[in-house]
Amino acid sequence: MGPVKGVRSKRMPRAVRERQMMDAAVRTFGQRGYRAASMDEIAELAGVSKPLVYLYLNSKEELFTACIRREADALIAAVRAGAEPRLAADRQLWAGLAAFFTHTAVNPDGWAILHRQARTHGEPFAAEVATMRDEIVAFVTGLIGAAARETHRESELAARDMAGLAQALVGAAESLAGWANETEGVSAKEAAGTLMNFAWMGLGDLMKGARWSAR
Amino acid sequence: MGPVKGVRSKRMPRAVRERQMMDAAVRTFGQRGYRAASMDEIAELAGVSKPLVYLYLNSKEELFTACIRREADALIAAVRAGAEPRLAADRQLWAGLAAFFTHTAVNPDGWAILHRQARTHGEPFAAEVATMRDEIVAFVTGLIGAAARETHRESELAARDMAGLAQALVGAAESLAGWANETEGVSAKEAAGTLMNFAWMGLGDLMKGARWSAR
Amino acid sequence: MGPVKGVRSKRMPRAVRERQMMDAAVRTFGQRGYRAASMDEIAELAGVSKPLVYLYLNSKEELFTACIRREADALIAAVRAGAEPRLAADRQLWAGLAAFFTHTAVNPDGWAILHRQARTHGEPFAAEVATMRDEIVAFVTGLIGAAARETHRESELAARDMAGLAQALVGAAESLAGWANETEGVSAKEAAGTLMNFAWMGLGDLMKGARWSAR
Amino acid sequence: MGPVKGVRSKRMPRAVRERQMMDAAVRTFGQRGYRAASMDEIAELAGVSKPLVYLYLNSKEELFTACIRREADALIAAVRAGAEPRLAADRQLWAGLAAFFTHTAVNPDGWAILHRQARTHGEPFAAEVATMRDEIVAFVTGLIGAAARETHRESELAARDMAGLAQALVGAAESLAGWANETEGVSAKEAAGTLMNFAWMGLGDLMKGARWSAR
DNA sequence: CATGAATGAGCTTTCATTCAT
DNA sequence: AATGAATGAAAGCTCATTCAT
């Protein structure tokens, strides 16, 4: 089971300790929020004394920034790993969404930090996460453009339209991530399916009985 | 000109004073966040002494809750007022979205409280705003259902599907609200149009050149 | 006897409280030094809570600066009050020295702040007290010049020589202040007499053009 | 080139290591002050780990005391070496002063420790440096007595007067040391000359029995 | 001989909240 | 109706000091 959280286990190499601290910080920041989280609590959860946290991570601000970066990188990596580039664009989108829902479900504190906390506590942090979100939006925009080219020789979608659409899609995904994690029995794949139906087919078509499917 | 903010003017009826305090609180909470906002700052901005804030609003927590309620009610009212019930369901949806984008653009501090702060600072506040969001989701779900009935005798959309779709739609709207407020020259109606295209027509149709229009 | 130090006596006008705090701060800083003095100790000695000290004096740094200024002003005022301008220059100097020794004897903590602490704890504070010392040096330089003119039509003392002499005289006075305060039974007037013997008889010869030389 | 400061070089004899540490400590204490200097900084500047500093010097307090002693001994030695006992008393005094000004100019951190820091941070340290100062004052008192005997068979200077004069002279010297080190282009010999003018010409008259009086 | 890992204790500062008038 | 005066409690951060290797 590894060392029990909250109990001091002495003399570990720095890298290990640092990981423990970051884990504790992500959990505490995710659940309490940046301001409400105290360094005392983080240190206790990590099973170390407060000075050690400062020795390794320097300050609350730097610690939070480090958490944001770690979680952002992990999320991006998960999505990219999910969306295999050999697939068709719409299938890539579906797979990316599924990976996204899976990752956020498995890693709720990290998701809370990125989605809620970082954007609520001042420019430096918000900028950090905005960079990551922009990366995802760009990724999605690229997929939409690719899909358009695959489907029709001459797409009628202007660049600015695509940006708005990508914003809407990402926002919808973020919202569904919360919903899926809270609603009993909604799996990541299910959520991804719902969103693909919504995004790809549109409400109008859905009402006529049309459905998007992986093939 | 009315009483200048930040300057003490004596002896006003309670209702007026209370309004001044709430205005100051919404602005301060919206810009600083719940924790970073200090009662000192709120009192000063309201032009009253701190004990008076406590006399009327009891505590920081209650004050924040009161702000959430006031802003939530105002937002719901704006959306309901926008979506005239005599219109067709899709037009109602469009009108409601336009009203939503307009209200959030005009009232950014209130929107920040609802969208960011309340959800980030603990259950009691999150629950408060969840209630409002559920109300909006229910409203949207109702519109989707109505549209389905208007269009086809037997809708194939199950209740649970509709809930997910409504979640996605509301999330997309929230995301676009931020995007529209930050992006130069994107009006509320434009944002509503973008979202209707996305939601009603779907990416698939959009690529074929189809567009949703108010008529 | 007034309110006993260290015991809380409630609800006093701000000016009174502020004076109590400054008194406590001068005493604590003077005896412990800037760094070793804790705001806790100052607050306790002043008979108030720590937050009140911050409310009125803002920070440890500002509090220390305020102490320096207050004590510097008091010392300058004491010396100026002692040296009646109607007297001959040498008598003015004697009177000023006597006032200086008296003030430092009566006010040892204030003197410790100016002479020891302020100069030992960083530029901002050192600059503050340097200003005052320069004022005193200028005052003494003026007296030396006046005495020279009174005694001999054409003084042979160059400006730079006088600056050095004034530095030496002030340094000697500072040193004697410590010695007189520590040595049993040395009064302020006695110390002033000793220093006048040392300084004046030397100066008197200098003014006649005499110089000591290595051979 | 010798080992570069701040870089670890392994396995040196204890005496060498200890010297490096003391050098680093004198510099750090002299520039930052006793409290503001951190053992971390000292260890880093010495190029060793903190535990080694503790192993050799035991504690911050002992380290500081050791610095005071070393610098005091060095200063005394410099002054004694300067004042050749074969010379006449006034020339001895001049030479001693010149040596003093030279040593403090060359060794500003050591002088800061003795003159400023040690006297500012509590009895134990102040006592340490007071011993050294007393030694210098006694040395000067001896010179004054010798000069008096050389000049006049029966000196009219009582012992206590001489103590006061020596205090004044030493204080003047301390003050001039600061002035000379800060003022562009004032050499040690020049400062010694200024002080001899000030002091000796006055003392010369005193020895002839002259006295300044308030009337 | 030498150090990486770790902490107890203390400091400055802030804030929500109340009392006496 | 309204406020100047005051505080308990806690938070971020630093530092001298020690252990285990």
Which comes out higher in pLDDT, residue B142 or D3? B142
Which comes out higher in pLDDT, residue D57 or D140? D57
Long-range contacts of the stretch A45-53 (C-beta < 8 A, 24+)? A45/A5, A45/A6, A46/A5, A46/A17, A46/A20, A46/A21, A47/A3, A47/A4, A47/A5, A47/A6, A47/A7, A47/A8, A47/A9, A47/A20, A48/A8, A48/A17, A48/A20, A48/A21, A52/A17, A52/A21, A53/A21
Residue B118 is assigned to a structural domain of this protein = yes
List the structure tokens of B117.
Answer: 């702060």
Q: Are B171 and A175 in contact (CB under 8 A)?
A: yes
Can you point out the beta strands (E) in A118-186?
Answer: none
Which of C164, C172, C211 comes nearest D171 by C-beta? C172
Per-residue model confidence (pLDDT) at position A198: 83
Per CB-CB distance under 8 Å, the chain C contacts of D176 are 164, 167-168, 171
| % of chain C residues with pLDDT over 70 | 85
Does residue A177 surpass a pLDDT of 80?
A: yes
List the structure tokens of D155.
Answer: 């000196």
Are D194 and C117 in contact (CB < 8 Å)?
Answer: no
Residue A22 is assigned to a structural domain of this protein = no
Per-residue model confidence (pLDDT) at position D1: 41
Q: What is the pLDDT of residues D110-122, one digit of tens each?
A: 999 999 999 999 8
To which residue do tokens 């006032």 refer?
C99
Residue C172 is assigned to a structural domain of this protein = yes
Does residue C139 surpass a pLDDT of 80?
A: yes
Distance from CA of D19 to the nearest CA of C (A): 25
Q: Is the CB of C55 under 7 A from strand F?
A: yes
A205: CB partners within 8 A, 6+ apart: B201, B202, B204, B205
Does residue B29 surpass a pLDDT of 90?
A: yes
Q: What is the pLDDT of residues C91-107, one digit of tens each?
A: 888 899 999 999 999 99
CATH of the domain at C137: 1.10.357.10
Per-residue model confidence (pLDDT) at position D9: 57
Q: Are A111 and A28 in contact (CB under 8 A)?
A: no
Q: Give the number of other Cβ atoms within 10 Å of residue D138's Cβ.
A: 12
Which nucleotides in chain F lie closer than 7 A to a protein CB?
A: 1-21
Q: Is the CB of D59 under 7 A from strand F?
A: yes
Please give the Cα distance from C71 to C110 (Å, whole number).
6
- Residue in C201, C113, C59, B180 with CA at minimum distance from that of residue D161: C201
Q: pTM of this prediction?
A: 0.88
Residue D53 is assigned to a structural domain of this protein = no
Per-residue model confidence (pLDDT) at position B3: 44
Confidence of residue C3 (pLDDT cuts 50, 70, 90): very low
Per-residue pLDDT, averaged over A48-62, amounts to: 97
Q: What is the pLDDT of residues B147-203, one digit of tens each?
A: 878 776 555 667 777 878 888 899 999 999 988 888 778 888 888 888 888 888 876
The number of folded domains in chain B is 1
- Residue in D139, D158, D119 with CA at minimum distance from that of residue D76: D139
Per CB-CB distance under 8 Å, the chain A contacts of B208 are 151-152
- C149: amino acid identity, one letter: R
Does residue D141 surpass a pLDDT of 60?
A: yes
Print the domain residue range for A130: 66-207
Please give the Cα distance from C29 to C44 (Å, whole number).
14
Which segment, A96-105, A172-181, B81-90, B139-148, is predicted with the most confidence on average? A96-105
Q: Which of A37-51, D146-160, D165-179 has the lowest mean pLDDT?
A: D146-160
C-alpha angle B86-B87-B93 in degrees, rounded to nearest 5 = 125
Which of C120, C171, C204 comes nearest D33 by C-beta? C120
Residue A166 is assigned to a structural domain of this protein = yes
DSSP state for residue A4 in the 8-state scheme: P
Residue D214 is assigned to a structural domain of this protein = no
In Å, what is the CA distance from D112 to each residue of C64, C132, D104? 21, 21, 9
C-alpha angle B24-B29-B32 in degrees, rounded to nearest 5 = 115
Put simply, the chain D residues between 20 and 39 with a CB less than 8 A from any chain C CB are 33-36
Are A201 and B204 in contact (CB < 8 Å)?
Answer: yes
Q: Are B45 and B28 in contact (CB under 8 A)?
A: yes
Which nucleotides in chain E lie closer than 7 A to a protein CB?
A: 1-21
Residue C18 is assigned to a structural domain of this protein = no
Please give the Cα distance from B129 to B108 (Å, whole number).
16
Three-class DSSP labels, chain D: CCCCCCCCCCCCCHHHHHHHHHHHHHHHHHHHCCCCCCHHHHHHHHCCCHHHHHHHHCCHHHHHHHHHHHHHHHHHHHHHHHCCCCCCHHHHHHHHHHHHHHHHHHCHHHHHHHHHHHHHCCHHHHHHHHHHHHHHHHHHHHHHHHHHHHHCCCCCCCHHHHHHHHHHHHHHHHHHHHHHHHCCCCCHHHHHHHHHHHHHHHHHHHHCCCCCCCC
Q: Are D147 and D117 in contact (CB under 8 A)?
A: no
Per-residue model confidence (pLDDT) at position C215: 41
Per-residue pLDDT, averaged over D12-33, amounts to: 93
Which comes out higher in pLDDT, residue A104 or A213? A104
Q: What is the dihedral of CA B7, B9, B15, B19, to 10 degrees?
A: -10
Does residue D3 surpass a pLDDT of 80?
A: no
- Residues present in chain A in total: 215
Per-residue pLDDT, averaged over A59-84, amounts to: 96
Which conformational region is residue B7 in: left (phi greater than 0), alpha (psi within -120 to 50 degrees), or beta?
Answer: beta
Residue C20 is assigned to a structural domain of this protein = no
Please give the Cα distance from A193 to A195 (Å, whole number).
5
